[in-house]
Amino acid sequence: MTGRRKVTNVLCPLCGGETVPIEYGEPSAEGLEASDRGEVILGGCIVWDEMPTVACRVCDHSWVWK
Ligand SMILES: [Zn+2]
């Protein structure tokens, strides 16, 4: 445990649910474990403009959080 667990403090604008950050790029072992725990969503390696950075755990809405 490194203590660098990421949590967002944003709530979903649609349903008010908890949100998790979306990570892009090659997932690390830690990233995969966090994904299994539902703490992060792995967005894959394809990156384009205006990538959503957070996603709702409840309704799957994702958006760019700045
Ligand atoms: Zn939502």
Report the separation in Å between the CA atom of 38 and the middle of ligand 1, taken as the mean of its atom positions: 15
pLDDT at 6: 56
Measured between alpha carbons, how far is 44 from 41 in angstroms, rounded to an integer?
9
Task: Name every residue whose Cβ is closer than 8 Å to that of residue 9 and which is 6 or more positions away in sequence.
Answer: none
Residue 54 and residue 8 in contact, taking contact as beta carbons nearer than 8 Å: yes
Residue 45's pLDDT band (cuts 50, 70, 90) = confident
Q: How many folded domains does the chain comprise?
A: 1
Report the separation in Å between the CA atom of 20 and the middle of ligand 1, taken as the mean of its atom positions: 11
Report the separation in Å between the CA atom of 27 and the middle of ligand 1, taken as the mean of its atom positions: 24
**Full residue range of the structural domain in which residue 53 is found:** 19-63
Q: What pLDDT digit, counting tens, does each position of 6-40 carry?
A: 567 889 999 999 999 998 888 889 999 999 999 99
Report the separation in Å between the CA atom of 5 and the middle of ligand 1, taken as the mean of its atom positions: 21
Report the separation in Å between the CA atom of 66 and the middle of ligand 1, taken as the mean of its atom positions: 17
Residue 4 predicted with pLDDT over 70: no
Residue 47's pLDDT band (cuts 50, 70, 90) = confident
Measured between alpha carbons, how far is 49 from 17 in angstroms, rounded to an integer?
25
For the whole model, what pTM was predicted?
A: 0.73
